[in-house]
Amino acid sequence: MTNVIKLLPDHVANQIAAGEVVQRPSSVVKELLENSIDANSTDIKLFIKNSGKTLIQVVDNGKGMSFKDARMCFERHATSKISSAKDLFSLNTKGFRGEALSSIAAISHVELKTKTKLDKLGSLIKIEGSEIKLEDSISVSDGTSLAVKNLFFNIPARRNFLKSDTVELRHIIDEFHRVVLAHPKINFSMFHNGNDIFDLRSENFRQRIIHVFGNRMNEKLVPVDENTELLKISGFVGKPEFAKKSRGEQFFFVNQRFIKSSYLNHAVISAFDGLLAPKKIPSYFLNLSVDPNSIDINIHPTKTEIKFDDEPTLYALLRAAVKHSLGQFNIAPVLDFERNSSFDTPYSSNINSFVTPKIEVDPEFNPFNKNESYNFSSTHSDDFYIGINSKSNNKLEPLSEIEFESNSIQSSIFDNDEIKNSNNTFQLLNKYILCKIKSGLMVVDQNRAHQRVLYEGFLKQFTLETPTIQNLLFPLNLNLTSDELKIIKDIEIQLKQTGFSISEYNKDGLFLNAIPVGVKESNVPSIFEELISDIKSEVPNINFSYSDLMAKLIAKSLATQNGKKLTTVEQEFIVNSLFACKEPNLSPSNKRIFITIEISDLDSKFN
């Protein structure tokens, strides 16, 4: 029998390893920045061209490498971080597998310049697709400069899977945020196509958060500080009123390493019980310090997942620490032991013991007659009376027999008279609209139905017609982070096509001087918040256009919510408008809007 198993060539093995380590340009950024941190650098510069597709370069002032180390660092599983398997459970460095540089060199053109403080000359190495093209000694500053050019040049299929420059740059900025927040004492700079994106100096953790996410972040932060034998917690959580619908501002750092943990995330969220609006998510920036021997980092190639020895205890400590901070800074409701009990309502008192005052009105009283004095009668009667000033009839009539005119609207839609008069629709649980049809009964989700109606209206306005705008008397100010501001600038033309006119940008956000007709000013912040969140999640790629996305977001924001009582007229309007739509069956998010229940189905229930 012919043997079929054989060893892969090194360059193929490196390309396979690169598939785990290098998923996109941001993966390279993460590895290079962490290498510079492990080299004890105090100043790190990141240069990007074309969102990392053309160039990713990191320059640091770290300890550098000797000529031999510079040559060895591109070999697979060559590392200075560990020497035995035991070291995997007491890690204090970022990288340790020795796969990153060899994987990067296998799929790009790499140029390394490095020098230690003790050497007079530094080293220059150029590699293309794992093949060394040049090794030489050069004059260079202390530290390391590593440039990665033409990423995925030898794997065009992989390069074709990369997203647009805007999306890839956003992923790079996300990785940059994670690294710079974990190390506030290090100077970081970032440049994209020659433009200065970030220039962060050594500072404390709070200042680093503010300089990354904007000055408005300062008023949103609540400090968290807890120190136990098992765990030390420090950092900040966001105030509940500033919670968002997106998860963009949630950071866990374990021993200065960014991690993702749905378990610990649930601990923080549960500490906000009763404080958040529906579907809102709090921000947090939390540093957790634990014994390196109590965690396992080596469970995922990206090293963003960690296994803890005693997760339930960590959960309890984290939840208690956040809850304590919210209460300590008067964010959470607390008992007030200094209130005056005399202002409390005596719940044990007998309400029936109170006597309703009796009032009588003198119908002959004329307030414009200066010669006439008015004496209030203290005579009590069994009924509450009101006087009718009439020359023909001056007697007092009981209130119960008098009809009043009123402009107030009856808020309840479930009065017996209204139910009797309504033959077309009925609202169930303030969520569903029930309609009689020939074959039985139709049940409509009022929120999804109204979304479909609004969506088709706005989409037609945005695409087939010139958008109708409403100019604002006073510009509307939206506070955004630098990252969010970059996203809005990239789609400003599309926003203008949908009716949003931006009059001015500043470092803390922007000003709108016009919005589409039908959109309330109060809804604009939530619309932009969801827009930015969807763009970060690459949702626009599944829509026809930004106009389509904006129509969906505005419709979702303005649609009648479930839980709202509707009048019969409103119910019938939604149903009639729904079946005038081109696609009445599905909501803009492709969810079923209505179901029908046949008479035969109802009859079968009674058999």
- Residue 371 has a pLDDT of 58
- Residue 376 has a pLDDT of 45
Residue 43 identity: D
Mean pLDDT of 199-219: 92
The CATH code that applies to domain 10-200 is 3.30.565.10
| CA distances for 47 relative to 39, 43, 216, angstroms | 19, 13, 28
d(CA 208, CA 573): 52
Residue 405 three-state SS:
coil
Mean pLDDT of 38-51: 95
Residue 278 three-state SS:
coil
Mean pLDDT of 14-24: 72
- Residue 32 has a pLDDT of 94
Picking from 10-14, 55-59, 381-385, 560-564, which range would have the lowest pLDDT averaged per residue?
381-385
Mean pLDDT of 535-545: 68
Q: Which of 129, 148, 98, 107 is nearest to 22 (CA)?
A: 107
Q: Which of 99, 140, 98 is nearest to 119 (CA)?
A: 140
- Residue 222 has a pLDDT of 94
CATH 3.40.50.960: does it fit domain 205-328? no
- Candidates 3.40.1160.10, 3.30.1370.100, 3.40.50.720, 3.40.50.150; correct CATH number of 432-594? 3.30.1370.100
- Residue 78 has a pLDDT of 66
Locate CATH 3.30.565.10 in the chain. 10-200
Residues 414-465: tens digit of each pLDDT: 344 433 444 589 999 999 999 988 888 999 999 999 999 999 999 888 887 7
- Residue 464 has a pLDDT of 77
66-69 long-range contacts (CB < 8 A, ≥24 apart) are 66/116, 66/119, 66/123, 67/123, 67/137
- Residue 382 has a pLDDT of 44
The pTM is what?
0.70
Strands of the sheet with 425-428, listed across from one edge? 425-428, 432-437, 440-445, 594-598
Across the strands, what pairs with 430? none
More confident of the two residues 409 and 68: 68
Locate CATH 3.30.230.10 in the chain. 205-328
Mean pLDDT of 250-272: 92
* CB within 8 Å of 376: residues ≥ 6 apart: none
> Quick check: 287 pLDDT over 90?
yes
- Residue 480 has a pLDDT of 87
Locate CATH 3.30.1370.100 in the chain. 432-594
3-state SS, one letter per residue, for 241-276: HHCECCCCCEEEEECCEEECCHHHHHHHHHHCCCCC
- Residue 20 has a pLDDT of 64
3-state SS, one letter per residue, for 384-401: CEECCCCCCCCCCEEHHH
Mean pLDDT of 50-56: 95
Locate tokens 């390069």: which residue? 159
- Residue 369 has a pLDDT of 67
> Quick check: 402 pLDDT over 60?
no
More confident of the two residues 17 and 376: 17
Exposed, middle or buried, 355 (CB in 10 Å: 0-12/13-18/19+)? Answer: exposed
DSSP 302-328: T----EES-HHHHHHHHHHHHHHHHHH
More confident of the two residues 481 and 543: 481
- Residue 29 has a pLDDT of 95
